[in-house]
Structure 1
Amino acid sequence: MTAQPGAKANPSQPASPVGTTDVKTAQVLVGDSWANPATTKGVGNAIHESAQAEPVVASETRDIEGIQWQRPIGRRILKLFDPTDSVPGVEFEGRIGETISAAADGVVVYSGHGLGAMGEVTMVKSSDSFIVAYALTGTRLTHEGQKVSRGDPIARVRELPNQHAGFIFQIRFNGNPVDPLKYLPSSENIGAQ
């Protein structure tokens, strides 16, 4: 159940369970209230003004294909996976400057801005079959060849072209983008922060 504008966050109930997020009605926390960014002018700026660079990371993990996965940030998902998107993945909410953490152990195989629609992107190879991409990020905090462990800082959140602060999280299996929610732990205990 998504909180309505003006409602207070209830830590025991997530604001928007992953399976029921509707991009058209996604709610964002503005101060102590919830607002719909699609219909509320100035919401984006209100989010950024109150931003803190402290990471909000989930410690819950899920073991799939021999890899321990965790969410890269303990925030809501604003847009679910759509294989037809220019950058297929899930869009996580964030606050400008907030830390994005490695979702799994691996080696950074790309860190740059040369992959078109992906913008600033960091790609981490977690196995022969899995590459994880953190796209449309702000400052990158890793370099190619660097080993990272689950939970290590990867990049910072920035404002996306849709005027929300966040980033695109993508998992590739054998080179093909797949729905990251099939690998990440449940968000039942992770509401909007």
Structure 2
Amino acid sequence: MLKYKVLPLAGLILALAACSSNAPAPVEVRAPARPQEGPAVAKPGHYIVKKGDTLYSIANLHKRDYRELAAWNNLTDPNLIEVGQELRVAPQADVLVAKPVAPASSIESRPVPPPAVIGSTAASSASSSLPPASVSTPAATGELKTEPKGGRIAYTPQAWKDLTQPADKAPVTSASAPAAQSAPAESKAPVVADDGSWSWPVSGKVIGSFNESSNKGVDLDGKLGDPVLAAGTGEVKYVGSSLRGYGNLVIIKHNNDFSSVYAHNQEILVKEGQQVKKGQKIATLGKSDADRPKLHFEIRRQGKPVDPLKLLPTR
């Protein structure tokens, strides 16, 4: 009987001993999570293979032939590429290489010039880069050769005014100048002729009559090289070929009211600013900007064309 009572007591003692044990409970240790690495970046001229890529698709993406990629990457089998593999997709010559920056000691430093110096330097640089202007120069034979001034422009009243007006304007004076200095100088333009009459510029017959809308003067027949004569005494105001439809052109100012026009010349024998006499040879007849050899002759009163046949002597 005593034996059966001892057994439960022994079990209770063992249980208490287990509860009072100093052994620590097991602890679970977790390592900190490693940050995920970003996607790999290919070197210049290279490509990193992604899932689903083929050598053909990569070549097509970079506009190359797959055989070029296979050769550049030593691939014997185009189908054997792996995800993450870095492939060359451009030849070595196409890969940009950064150039080293020059050391600071080799960089030249200069003081900044004042604004006035900068402006003058820029102006001199611009002028030095421009081609030399075309200058009319008399040849040894007296012939004057000219070039178009700033391109050929269509005839308009304003274009005509621009050819002749600048030379006719009075000098510009300062607003603060005395009144006596602001008055325009007295005109010294020569008269048409001593007797006030005109003369024919060529001997050829009239082949085109005056018409205000279609013909600003008369067309006179002639042969290439025939002399063209000044119809009156005056000053040469324009020599050139910038007005479309007139060819090689001469304009003579006779006084404040009248000027005369000689177009389609072959050679021009006078220069701007030159004083000429009535009957003086100023050019040779030609067909510049015309369909046949002829002289187109105009007389203008204050810039407006008038019929030359009403002023020229009858013949």
Which of the five TM-score ranges fits, normalised by the shorter chain?
0.5 to 0.7
Contact 1:96 1:157 in 2 (8 A): yes
Per-residue deviation, 1:150: 0.6
Tell me which residue corresponds to 2:132.
none
Q: Distance in 1 between matches of 2:264 and 2:252?
A: 15
Q: Distance in 2 between matches of 1:121 and 1:81?
A: 18
Tell me which residue corresponds to 1:70.
199
Contact 1:113 1:119 in 2 (8 A): yes
Contact 2:247 2:288 in 1 (8 A): no
* Structure 1 position 99 matched with structure 2 position 245: no
Per-residue deviation, 1:117: 1.9
Contact 2:217 2:306 in 1 (8 A): yes
Per-residue deviation, 1:90: 0.2
Q: Secondary structure in 2 aligned to 1:84?
A: coil
Q: Secondary structure in 2 aligned to 1:184?
A: coil
Tell me which residue corresponds to 2:294.
166
* Structure 1 position 142 matched with structure 2 position 236: no
Q: Which stretches of structure 1, 4 residues or more, deviate above 4 A after TM superposition?
A: 63-66
Q: What do residues 42-97 of structure 1 show as CA deviations (whole Å, max 9, x unaligned)?
A: xxxxxxxxxxxxxxxxxxxxx99962210001110101111112x51100001101
Matches within 5 A, 1:23-172: 67-85=196-214, 88-159=216-287, 163-172=291-300
Q: Distance in 1 between matches of 2:207 and 2:194?
A: 26
Structure 2 regions of 5+ residues with no counterpart?
Answer: 1-191
Q: Distance in 1 between matches of 2:295 and 2:274?
A: 21
| TM-score normalised by structure 1 residue count | 0.60
Aligned length in residues:
124
Higher relative contact order (CA 8 A, sep 6+): 1
Paired residue type of 2:243: L
Q: Distance in 2 between matches of 1:177 and 1:65?
A: 23
Q: Distance in 2 between matches of 1:121 and 1:162?
A: 12
Which protein has the larger Cα radius of gyration, Structure 1 or Structure 2? 2
Q: CA 1:115–1:178 in 2, change beyond 3 Å: closer, same or farther? A: same
Q: Secondary structure in 2 aligned to 1:150?
A: coil
Q: What do residues 15-56 of structure 1 show as CA deviations (whole Å, max 9, x unaligned)?
A: xxxxxxxxxxxxxxxxxxxxxxxxxxxxxxxxxxxxxxxxxx
Identify the structure with the greater strand proportion: 1
Paired residue type of 1:137: N
Q: Distance in 2 between matches of 1:162 and 1:114?
A: 14
CA RMSD of aligned residues (A): 2.1
Q: Distance in 1 between matches of 2:202 and 2:272?
A: 22
Per-residue deviation, 1:164: 2.8
Structure 1 regions of 5+ residues with no counterpart?
Answer: 1-62, 188-193
Paired residue type of 1:69: W
Which stretch of structure 1 is more off in the superposition, 153-162 or 89-98? 153-162
Q: Distance in 2 between matches of 1:157 and 1:139?
A: 7
| TM-score normalised by structure 2 residue count | 0.37
